[in-house]
Amino acid sequence: MKAINTMRLAFDSRSANEAFARTAVAAFLCSLDPTLDELTDIKTAVSEAVTNCIVHGYREQINKVYITAAIYSDNRVLIKIKDNGCGIEDIEKAREPLFTTRPSEERAGLGFAVMESMVDKVRVSSQPGKGTTVTLEKKIVSKGEGNGNNA
């Protein structure tokens, strides 16, 4: 199925840009007239994925975080958050609740668990030394009559 609308973002991996990322994605999805709960869930999942890029993917370096989002005619949204950082050695281990690569910083290790509780599907692909892509998928149960084509 072909997307009916798409967007792309690239921004520096600075903590200050996490709020920008979630707000930009939320604004893009407003044409679907999501409920406040749906919007909050997506913003939270995007925040977690972007934070993972900044904290774990790039660690102490400033690089780029990339987001692409697509809306489909069935009100399904796909959001990809990508970094070109260190990658994940063991994706299954990284997805376990309470696992963190930064225990000295008192990280909770709940990022993937939070993402999974907020959206319908979470996919993670990663190559050590090359980066990680997290794909979030959620179906929006639109409040309005719009089909995603209205401005």
Amino acid at 86: C
CB 111 within 8 A of CB 51: yes
**Which residues are the active-site residues?**
48, 52, 107
**What gap in Å lies between CA 11 and CA 30, rounded to an integer?**
21
pLDDT computed for residue 1 by the predictor: 84
**What gap in Å lies between CA 35 and CA 44, rounded to an integer?**
14
CB 136 within 8 A of CB 81: yes
pLDDT computed for residue 105 by the predictor: 58
Q: Where are the beta strands (DSSP E) in 74-116?
A: 76-83
**What angle (nearest 5°) sits at the alpha carbon of residue 22, between those of residues 101 and 24?**
140
Which residue in 91, 21, 85 sits closest to 58, CA to CA? Answer: 85
**What gap in Å lies between CA 12 and CA 31, rounded to an integer?**
27
Q: pLDDT tens track of the chain, all 151 residues?
A: 899 999 999 999 999 999 999 999 999 999 999 999 999 999 999 999 999 999 889 988 999 999 999 999 999 999 999 999 999 888 787 777 666 666 655 556 667 888 898 999 999 999 999 999 999 999 999 665 444 444 4
Q: Could you tell me the pTM of the whole model?
A: 0.85
pLDDT computed for residue 19 by the predictor: 96
